Structure 1
Amino acid sequence: MMSRKNVLLAVSAVLAVIVLALGGVYFTRSSDAPVDAGCQTTKDLIKYSDDKMADIAKVIKENDEGVTNDRYEHQDTTPMYREWADKIRNYADSISDSETKAEASTVAGKADDLAKVQEKYSAPVPDAQLQQAAIEKSNDLNKAWDAYKAAENRLRNKCHMDSNDPKL
């Protein structure tokens, strides 16, 4: 039979192992969390982008409905895209962590590319070229959008944020 002293030593050893194991699990899990201050600004950037894109989508939908209902009241979304891209750049520039800032700057560059595509195709086109211009605009916007979302998703991953992109 074990003496009381041996039992206390055994219990203490078991408790020490449990505490070490729990500490290791805690340390491992907490190291997965973002540690740089840039991630809060990144979250703000992503939220702004999501909200602004929802506003732009609403205007586009209203424009499309106006065409089908013969009440063509068109609101140009080009300034909205430019405002969005400029604000994304402001967010990116305000991040202090260099790695996060680099990722956010890439996102800002892709946002700027998307705004430039929108600006490129905002000029009126002769009727004879309308269909071709619409196809080119659609293709260019899709490419720019995909590049933007890829950069945004890398930034989300950097800050351990889930994507809201339904295609993923």
Structure 2
Amino acid sequence: MNLFQIDARVTRLEQEMPEIRDLAAAASKEVGDVHARLRAHTTSLQALRVTQVEHTQQLVELNKRIVDTGFEMREGFVKVYERIAGVHKEARDGFAKVEQEFAKVEQEFANVRGEIANVRGEMHGEFANVRGEMQEGFAKIAALIQDRAKPGEP
């Protein structure tokens, strides 16, 4: 390359230099903007991470409370079931006693019916005896009345 070519080349580079400086300044500004955005994104991501950690802790605590509540509810249901079973047993036992008492009452009624039937039978027998005795007495009275009604007898 000769001096003239080098001179032309330097001249051309000198003419392009302001444009290159403008491009370099614009690129530097864009890189600064990108770094600023990157820092903002990093800050946002860090804040999001903190929030996620807090939410995770809250979810773990809520899950523990739900599990604990489930255990408490199961324990409560077991107690309620046991109480219902106890009441059910008491009711069954009570009804069994009532049935036994009704059986006794029914037996007593059967005994009373039997006694009434015996008394009725005895009464029919006694009434038959009284009727027979009354018929004999009436027959004697009628005979006495007839005897007195015969003429010639005092």
Give the TM-score normalised by the residue count of structure 1.
0.28
Give the TM-score normalised by the residue count of structure 2.
0.30
Task: Report 1 or 2 for greater relative contact order, CA contacts < 8 Å, sequence distance ≥ 6.
Answer: 1
Higher helix share: 2
Max Rg structure: 2
